[in-house]
Amino acid sequence: MRNMIALRLIAGVAAGLLLNALADHWPERRWGAAARVTPQPLRRVLVLLATGGAALGLQQLGQPPAAHLLHMALLFCLLLAGVIDWEQRLLPDPLLLLAAGIALLLAALRAGNPAPAVMGAIVAGGCMLAAYAGGRCYAGAHAPPALGFGDVKLAAVLGLALGVQAALPALLAGVLLAGAVALFLRVARGRHRGVFMPYAPWLLLGALPALLR
What is the per-residue pLDDT for 195?
57
Domain segments of the chain: what residues? 58-212
DSSP state of 37: P
Percent of the chain as helix, strand, coil, to the nearest 5? 75, 0, 25
Whole-angstrom Cα distance, residue 174 to residue 199? 9
What is the per-residue pLDDT for 118?
92
Whole-angstrom Cα distance, residue 160 to residue 123? 10
Residues of the chain with confidence (pLDDT) below 70: 1-2, 27-39, 58-63, 139-146, 189-196
| Chain centroid, CA 75 distance in Å | 8
Pick from 47, 126, 128, 35: nearest CA to 86? 47
What is the per-residue pLDDT for 34?
43
What is the per-residue pLDDT for 32?
42
Q: Where are the alpha helices (DSSP H) in 140-199?
A: 149-162, 164-189
Whole-angstrom Cα distance, residue 96 to residue 77? 8
pTM for the model stands at 0.85
Q: pLDDT digit string (tens) for 121-145?
A: 999 999 999 988 887 777 665 555 6
Whole-angstrom Cα distance, residue 72 to residue 117? 18
Q: Give the three-class secondary structure for 76.
A: helix
What is the per-residue pLDDT for 53?
82
